[in-house]
C-alpha cells in the first residue's frame, strides 16, 4: 500500500477515494471504505483513503483526544481491507483555514483525480465545515466525479461511532466493542521486563508496553488472547497495579495459556474478549493464587 504524506499534483492518475479520520475502523468506517473499494473495482481505478495522522479535534478543541487505536493499527487495517493508497495528512492550522473549495481542488482533485468520492453521513472538510455531502454533489459535474454518501451503521439500535466505543472501553465492555468493531479490541506493544513476580507463583506474564496514548482500558482482569510470532494463544490479561504483590504503576500483563518462552523485546498483540472481574487486593498470596485459578476457568 502506498502512503503519501503530502498532497501533490498527480499522485494518482485516477482514483476512487474515501474521506474520514477513521478512528477505530469500526463497522461504520468499514462500510465507507468498502463502498469506496467496490466503486474502485467497478471503475478500474486506484482505491485511496484520505485521512489524518493526528486527531482534528486536538486543534479544533485545543485539548488532548484519546484514540481507539493507534495510527499504525489504522493503517494496517486499511491495508488489509485491500486499499491501494493512503493520503495521510497532518491536520494543521493551515489546513483548518483552507476553504472547502481549495481543499477539494488542491488536496483531492489535483492530487488524486477522483472518479468517485465516498464519505460518511457526518463528514465535513474545509473552513467552517463547508465541505459536506451537498457541497461535493454541487461540484461533481465540474470536476467529473460521482459522490457516495454512506448512511450510519446501527447495531442494537445504536449508531456505531468512536464515541460509543470509547464509552464501552471506559466500562470494560469488550463484548459490545467486538460487535461494533467487527473484531476484538486489541493492543500492540513490546514485551518488557517486569518484576517477574508472577513467575514465582506459577503464572508467568508478558508485560506489555503499549506504543501510544490510547483510551485507557479500566483496571481489571480480562479473558482474551495474544498473538506471538504469528500464533494465537488464549490469555488472561490483568490491567492495573497488581496490589497484592507490588501495587505500583499501571501495567498490562498477559498470562498466555500453554506457553512458556522468553519473548522479551518482541512485539505482540493482546486482544480483549470479556471482563472477568475488577482488580482487588487479596489478604495473602495463597488467596491470590486460588483466585487466579478460578479466573483461568473463565477464559474463552
CA 207-210-216 angle, 5° bins: 105
CA distances 32 to 159, 168, 183, Å, are 14, 22, 17
CA-closest candidate to residue 251, choices 277, 219, 229: 219
Q: Please give the radius of gyration of the chain, using alpha carbons only, rounded to the nearest integer.
A: 22
Domains belonging to the chain, first-starting first, are 2-158 (3.40.50.620), 184-296 (2.40.30.30)
pLDDT tens digits along 62-102: 778 888 999 999 999 999 999 999 999 999 989 889 999 99
Residue 103, Cα to own-chain centre: how many angstroms? 26
| 297 — pLDDT class (breaks 50, 70, 90) | confident
CA 192-194-196 angle, 5° bins: 130
CA distances 292 to 195, 217, 288, Å, are 18, 20, 6
pLDDT tens digits along 192-209: 876 555 554 556 788 887
Q: pLDDT value at position 192? A: 86
Amino acid at each position: 500500500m502506498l502512503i503519501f504524506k503530502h498532497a501533490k499534483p498527480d499522485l494518482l492518475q485516477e482514483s476512487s477515494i474515501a474521506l474520514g479520520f477513521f478512528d477505530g475502523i469500526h463497522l461504520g468506517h468499514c462500510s465507507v471504505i468498502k463502498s469506496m473499494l467496490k466503486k474502485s473495482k467497478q471503475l478500474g481505478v486506484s482505491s485511496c483513503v484520505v485521512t489524518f495522522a493526528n486527531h482534528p479535534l486536538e486543534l479544533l478543541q485545543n485539548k488532548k483526544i484519546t484514540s481507539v487505536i493507534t495510527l499504525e493499527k489504522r493503517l494496517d487495517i486499511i491495508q488489509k481491507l485491500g486499499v491501494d493508497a493512503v493520503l495521510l495528512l497532518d491536520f494543521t492550522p493551515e489546513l483548518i483555514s483552507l476553504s472547502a473549495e481549495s481543499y477539494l481542488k488542491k488536496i483531492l482533485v489535483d492530487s488524486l483525480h477522483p472518479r468517485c468520492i465516498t464519505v460518511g453521513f457526518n463528514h465535513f472538510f474545509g473552513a467552517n465545515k463547508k465541505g459536506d455531502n451537498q457541497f461535493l454533489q454541487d461540484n461533481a459535474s465540474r470536476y467529473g466525479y460521482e459522490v457516495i454518501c454512506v448512511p450510519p451503521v446501527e447495531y442494537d439500535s445504536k449508531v456505531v461511532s468512536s464515541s460509543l466505543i470509547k464509552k464501552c472501553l471506559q466500562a470494560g465492555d469488550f463484548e459490545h466493542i467486538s460487535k461494533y468493531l467487527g473484531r476484538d479490541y486489541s493492543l500492540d506493544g513490546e514485551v518488557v521486563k517486569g518484576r517477574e513476580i508472577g513467575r514465582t507463583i506459577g503464572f508467568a506474564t508478558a508485560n506489555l508496553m503499549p506504543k501510544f496514548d490510547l483510551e485507557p482500558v479500566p483496571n481489571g482482569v480480562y479473558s482474551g488472547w495474544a498473538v506471538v510470532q504469528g500464533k494465537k494463544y488464549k490469555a488472561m490479561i490483568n490491567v492495573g497495579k497488581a496490589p497484592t504483590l507490588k501495587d505500583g504503576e499501571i501495567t498490562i500483563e498477559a498470562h498466555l495459556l500453554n506457553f512458556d518462552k522468553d519473548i522479551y523485546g518482541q512485539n505482540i498483540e493482546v486482544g480483549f474478549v470479556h471482563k472477568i472481574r475488577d482488580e482487588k487486593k487479596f489478604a495473602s498470596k495463597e488467596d491470590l493464587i486460588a483466585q487466579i485459578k478460578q479466573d483461568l476457568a473463565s477464559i474463552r
